[in-house]
Structure 1
Amino acid sequence: MRVARRLGTVTLGITGLTAPLALAFGAQPASAVSCATMTGPYQRQVEAFLGRPVDGRQSAADCKAIQAFQNNYGITPTIGYAGPVTWGVMDFMNKQKAVGRNPNRDGKCPVNKGRIACVNLTLQLTWIQDGKKLVYGPVPVRTGRDGYETRTGLKKIYWRHIDHVSTLYNVPMPYSQFFDGGQAFHSVNLSVWSPPGSRGCVNMTRKDAKRYWSLLRTGDDVYVYGRKPGT
């Protein structure tokens, strides 16, 4: 079965994304890796995201704040450099937050199917709706990386296994709900924002995967659309 690599731990959902975002979680101790002294290409954007003074110049305090963010969200190397990967994760968070409580504003997820789980690959978000009514979410997910893309289209949950272990990768996949071959919703013990992505499954936090388990049943529809950047 498809499963992602272990890269870190996650502490937030969409509802936890508040500005400045670096202050919305308990930062883990930065690793012993040396701090980058170079100014990164996304220095100003990263400083603004983290609530740092926006001067476009790397400082020791900037580096520590960036490094703490990288440690929290499974971004490597954790050297406090404001590079494209770190900014890419932050940019995703900004776009996810902007969706608010209206994730299907584009009307792309069917509203004539009753209860359905929607997955927007472009924004890396999922939610459950019933007609036009939002039932749960939106919450961030981690979908398939390049070469292991989460397949798009209308599907149905055909098998559920609460304590599933991947027979292909020998990795736990708690609260698995399979909807397309080996691709499933399931929880992971890593950051759902950590690059590059899963091996096709829709990775979720344990809290969200558990809630999906309680809300969905075998035979329920799943609609996957969009395209994850970089795939």
Structure 2
Amino acid sequence: MKVSFDATGEVVVITGGAQGIGAALAAAVNAAGGTAVVFDVVKPADAAVEYVEVDVADRSSLQAGVSAVVDRYGRIDGLVAGAAVQPRSPVLEMDPAEWTRTLQVNLDGVVWTCQSVVLHMVARRSGSVVVFTSGMAVTGYAGAAAYASSKAALIAFAKTLAAEVVQHRVRVNVVAPGVIDTEQFRTANAGADREHWHDTIGIGDPEDVVGPLLFLLSDAAAMTGSVLTRERAFAKLTRFAE
């Protein structure tokens, strides 16, 4: 069975979309006839993708970016909040600045992005938001306390936001994409850590997550406040392939 998505006329904002999953999604949105607008601190390699320089940890920068998109297009149909950092250090050795910066980007950045974008969606009574969590939100992971904590908090935040805006026909869902081979993953998981993920749940490609994201952004996803995870399914597929 083949599935295709039509995004003609729709505008999707993707934070952290200069690389990895966000970049793959931006290309797919454009290919489906929509307009992907990437919010990031670095410019995407794909010149066809519209880019707005935004630091999600800076609320005023976010608000300016959202205003620029709304002024240009008059709408934002979808939001994928993917900007994140993933430092590694043991809890007992963690620099307070590292903890603060991780929460500012991974948690506060999502909160302020949603606040700015969803206000416009509520006014139009239409929109879909997707937030990223991680399996570490449930299991934890040695050396990744700040990252895991931020991702756990995002589940509660997204479910709460979903309950608050459902009457306005705005949907908010969460994706746990599994372990994906991105630059951020490779930086945070070198050597033995990479082997651990390969031998347990497997390592996927950014394009593997695009289908679920397009589904959640589409009208076909009559769901909100849900957490979609692909970790176990992907582990079975990769092991079967081996």
Q: Whose radius of gyration is greater, 1 or 2?
A: 1
Q: Bin the TM-score by the shorter chain.
A: under 0.3
Q: TM-score, normalised by structure 1?
A: 0.27
Point out which structure has higher relative CO (alpha carbons under 8 A, 6+ apart).
1
Q: TM-score, normalised by structure 2?
A: 0.26
Structure having the larger proportion of residues in strand = 1
